[in-house]
A and B are shown apart, each in its own frame.
Chain A
Amino acid sequence: MSAVLLIFFVLAGLAVLGALSLVFQKHPIHSALSLIVVMVCLAGLYLLMGAEFVAAVQIIVYGGAIMVLFIFVIMLLNAGEEEHTDFSKLARFAGLPLALALTASLAALVIRPDASISAPAPVFIPKATEQISTMLFKDFVYPFELTSFLILVAILGALVLAQREKK
């Protein structure tokens, strides 16, 4: 158990560091790279909980496809270093209290003894992928199909916008 805990803390720490670096880096490519680190660490955390399929998909979809697209766009626009403007007035006054409130509420939720979000023990369920697919295509087939319809609408929207620009 201690090895698993150690891996958890390494991954979680890396994920937090990556997220901080994402915010504080000045160059968009460095921020995108930090985001990839966060994605891969999250995949590692999923793997630690025995969700092999979700972990692999996390890397393939988020770490791979989406982030490649981000990097592609940043490279295509040849975006330079960001110039930090003066922060918004809301952030100056309400930022710190709001952040503290969020951290406090999350901490309260985690520390509570009857916490409902206790981490499940890492068990490797055989045929976990098969169970996911059975659930997806039998029990939740309508929400699944609706989601795919939503994505189709998004694709059509992108096509319409691209075609309009051509004219």
Chain B
Amino acid sequence: MISFLQQNAFWIIAIVKIALLLFIVLTVNAYLTWFERKVVAHIQSRWGPHRVGPHGLLQPAADGLKFLFKEDPTPAGVDRFVYYLAPFLALALSLTALAVIPFSPRPLEIFGQKIYFWIVNPDIGLLILFAITALSVYGIALAGWASNSKYSLLGGLRSSAQMISYELALTMSVVGVLLMANTFSLQSIIEQQDHGKWGIGFLGWNLFAWTRNGLLFPQIIGFICFFTSAIAETNRVPFDLPEAESELVAGFHTEYASFKFAMFFIAEYTAMITVSCLATILFFGGWLSPFPDTKFFYITHFIPSITLIPFGLWVIYDGIKYETIFGKLILPAVGFAMFAIGGTLIALPGVNDFIQPIFWFTAKVFVFLFFYVWSRGTLPRLRYDQLMNVGWKLLLPVSIANVIVTAAVVLWRSHP
């Protein structure tokens, strides 16, 4: 038995990692919908979900059950094969993209097996992500075409036109980072932003682009172009024209119900997570802490605890005065768990050091996810001609200019 485990360790570790990542991502997806509804509600002076569970925390579970038990009608006159293929394609591709994201450089050692925090780490990680993005338009476009409905068809058409337009700007805006990194490997891109003991911290990220050779061209413009076109690629507000509720009912997924609709939904949220991870890796130093890795700044290693302990205490306080008995039981328990984790991290410095990269990576990703939700709560949808103008006449020329300037500066710094 043990020899079998050792011989097949590679496969077992890979499968367990995939299952774990899927579980985490799907849970995060579920709670992202809760988070989004809460934040948008508060932007609009509402409460958002608060009936199902304390603070509406069980709303995602209720939604999931509803998706499973709803009737799943197939409209008349659909192209059956493509109609069923489209949601699978959308979901499978968006989940596959997460496989190449590296979350932390430090391996976990269990029974002599080094377990890294990524599923695969190919040399062409970034290109694989772009390849998956390029294919993921088919899920939406084919869903729109196969549904046999004019709203869906318009949604599918819009989405393919939008994807073609914004993919150019998306790819061009990353070239600046590639010129500085000299590699497609996501892990190496993060590592070359790390200046360790040299002590410049977040100034070494590609967004600010300090290196030992001096200041390169900061990728602020590149980042703005990247994130704008990434929002368009994920079909989110203000670029959600493929599903524009006020014009196209629900756009490409008008004719989808029940779990097939949920698959599009999960695909969209997973794409949001992937894009946030990519923005973190390319421009914000991935798992690197914003503080320099020096003795003076060692105190910043306690930031996870410093955030968790007061927040846990607040959740306990909030839970004690919560109206329902269920809330009075659950919320203090959650708060105590947070408090306990924060305390454990202070007590065990080894564990604390180990989770630093994961903490910073997750924190940065959540900032971007919040940005997604924030823009949904505040920005109006673009008109179709405005969308095309922004893509072709603004983002593409600006990102090409960014590539030229970056290339010049990199050349000048390497041959002074």
Contact = CB atoms under 8 A, between A and B. Distances in A.
Contacts of B130: 56, 60
A64 B141 contact: no
Contact of A64 (B134, B142, B145): B134
Interface residues of A, number: 27
A69 B164 contact: yes
B124 A129 contact: yes
Contacts of A69: 164
Contacts of A29: 79, 82, 142, 145
A43 B124 CA distance: 14
User: B130, B134, B157 — which one has the most chain A CB atoms within 10 A of its CB?
Assistant: B134
A99 interface: no
Interface in A71-115: 71-72, 75-76, 78
A60 B134 contact: yes
A75 B124 CA distance: 33
A121 to B, nearest CB: 19
Interface in A25-51: 27, 29-30, 33, 36, 40, 43
Interface of A: 27, 29-30, 33, 36, 40, 43, 52-53, 56-57, 59-60, 63-65, 68-69, 71-72, 75-76, 78, 126, 128-130
Given A60-B131, A75-B153, 5 more contacts: A29-B142, A60-B127, A64-B134, A64-B167, A129-B184
Interface in B265-312: none
Contacts of A40: 135
Nearest to B128: A56
B134 A57 contact: no
Given A29-B79, A72-B141, A52 B131 contact: no
Contacts of A75: 141, 144-145, 153, 156-157, 160
A126 B122 CA distance: 11
A56 B145 contact: no
B124 A59 contact: no
* Size class of the B contact interface (CB-based, 8 Å): 20 to 34
A60 B398 CA distance: 22
A53 B124 contact: yes
Interface string B76-88: 0001011000000
B373 to A, nearest CB: 28
B123 interface: yes
Contacts of B153: 75, 78
Contact of A68 (B79, B144, B145, B160): B160
Contacts of B163: 68
A126 B131 contact: no
B361 interface: no
Nearest to B141: A71
Nearest to B137: A68
Contacts of B182: 130
A130 B141 CA distance: 35
Given A29-B79, A33-B82, A75-B156, A65 B124 contact: no
A10 B18 CA distance: 23
B161 interface: yes
B34 interface: no
A52 B123 contact: yes
